[in-house]
Amino acid sequence: MKKLAINGGTPSRDTTKNPWPKWPVWGTEEEKGLLEVLHSGVWSYNGPKETEFNRLFAEYTGVKHAICTVNGTVTMQIALEALGVGLGDEVIVPGLTWQATAATVLDVNAIPILVDVSEDNWCIDPKEIEKAITPRTKAIIPVHLYGAFADMDAVMEIAKKHNLYVMEDCAHKHGGEWNGKKAGSIGDIGSFSYQLSKHLTAGEGGSLTTNNSKLAERLDALRNCGRRPEVGMLEGVDKGAGDYGDDDGNFIQSGNLRITEFQAAILIEGLKRLPAQNANRDDNGEYLNSLLEDIDGVAPIKRDKRETKKAYFNFAFKYRKDEFKGLPIEKFRSALEAELGIVVDASYEPLNNCSLYVPHTKPARHKLDDAYWKAIDPKRFSLPVCERVFKEESVCLHHKVLMGTKSDMELIASAIKKIFNYAEELIT
Ligand X SMILES: *Cc1c(COP(=O)(O)O)cnc(C)c1O
Residues involved in catalysis: 198
CB of 33 to ligand X, least distance (A): 21
Closest approach of ligand X to the CB of residue 383, in Å: 16
Least distance in Å: CB of 414 to ligand X?
A: 30
Q: Is residue 201 a contact residue for ligand X (CB under 6 A)?
A: no
Q: Under the criterion CB under 6 A, does residue 206 sit at the interface with ligand X?
A: yes
Collapsed DSSP state (helix, strand, coil) of residue 246: coil
**Helix H or strand E encompassing 308:** strand 307-309
Residue 398's CB is within 10 A of a number of other CB atoms, namely 20
Q: What are phi and psi of 350, to 5 degrees?
A: -55, 140
For ligand X, the closer of residues 96 and 338 by Cβ is 96
Instruction: List helix spans (H) across 210-260.
Output: 213-222
171 lies in the binding site for ligand X (CB under 6 A): yes
From the list 38-46, 165-173, 242-250, 293-301, the region that binds ligand X by CB under 6 A is 165-173
Round to whole Å and give the CA distance between 295 and 417.
7
In whole angstroms, the minimum distance from the beta carbon of 23 to ligand X comes to: 15
Q: What gap in Å lies between CA 363 and CA 77, rounded to an integer?
A: 19
Window of 96-104, 246-254, 273-281, 295-303 that interacts with ligand X by CB under 6 A: 96-104
Phi, psi of 69 (to 5 degrees): -140, -170
Nearer Cβ to ligand X, position 139 or 295?
139
Q: For ligand X, which residue has the nearest CB?
A: 72
- Comparing CB distances to ligand X, the nearer of 141 and 298 is 141
Report the site for ligand X in 115-154 (rule: CB under 6 A): 143
Q: Which of 83, 93, 100, 259 binds ligand X (CB under 6 A)?
A: 100
Comparing CB distances to ligand X, the nearer of 129 and 327 is 129
Q: Of 95 and 206, which has the nearer Cβ to ligand X?
A: 206
Binding ligand X (rule: CB under 6 A), the pick from 44, 195, 211, 213 is 195
SS3 (DSSP) at 396: strand
- Cβ proximity to ligand X, 35 vs 356, nearer residue: 356
CA dihedral 166, 236, 77, 146 (to 10 degrees): 60
Say how many C-beta atoms besides its own lie within 10 A of residue 358's C-beta.
Answer: 11
Min dist. Cβ of residue 272 to ligand X (A): 21
Q: Which amino acid is residue 269, in one-letter code?
A: E
Least distance to ligand X from the beta carbon of 253, Å? 22
Given 97, 118, 278, 314, the residue binding ligand X (CB under 6 A): 97
Task: Return d(Cα 167, Cα 120) in angstroms, integer.
Answer: 22
Using CB under 6 A as the binding criterion, the count of chain residues that bind ligand X stands at 14
Q: Using CB under 6 A, which residues numbered 34 to 73 contact ligand X?
A: 71-73
Would you say 195 or 353 has its CB closer to ligand X? 195
Q: Which residues contact 171 (CB under 8 A, 6 or more apart)?
A: 72, 98, 143, 191, 192, 193, 195, 198, 313
**Binding of ligand X at residue 349 (CB under 6 A)?**
no
The whole-angstrom separation of Cα 38 and Cα 329 is 49
Rounded to a whole number of angstroms, the minimum distance from the CB of residue 197 to ligand X is: 7
- Run of H or E including 57: helix 48-61
Strand ranges (E), 256-300: 298-300
Cα–Cα dist 58/9, whole Å: 50
Positions 67 through 86 that interact with ligand X (CB under 6 A): 71-73
Stretch binding ligand X (CB under 6 A), from 15-23, 58-66, 168-176, 323-331: 168-176
User: Would you say 271 and 60 are in contact if contact means Cβ atoms under 8 Å apart?
Assistant: yes
Q: Are 340 and 410 in contact (CB under 8 A)?
A: no
| 314 belongs to the binding site for ligand X (CB under 6 A) | no
Q: Is 193 in the site for ligand X (CB under 6 A)?
A: yes
| Site residues, ligand X (CB under 6 A) | 71-73, 97-98, 100-101, 143, 169, 171-172, 193, 195, 206
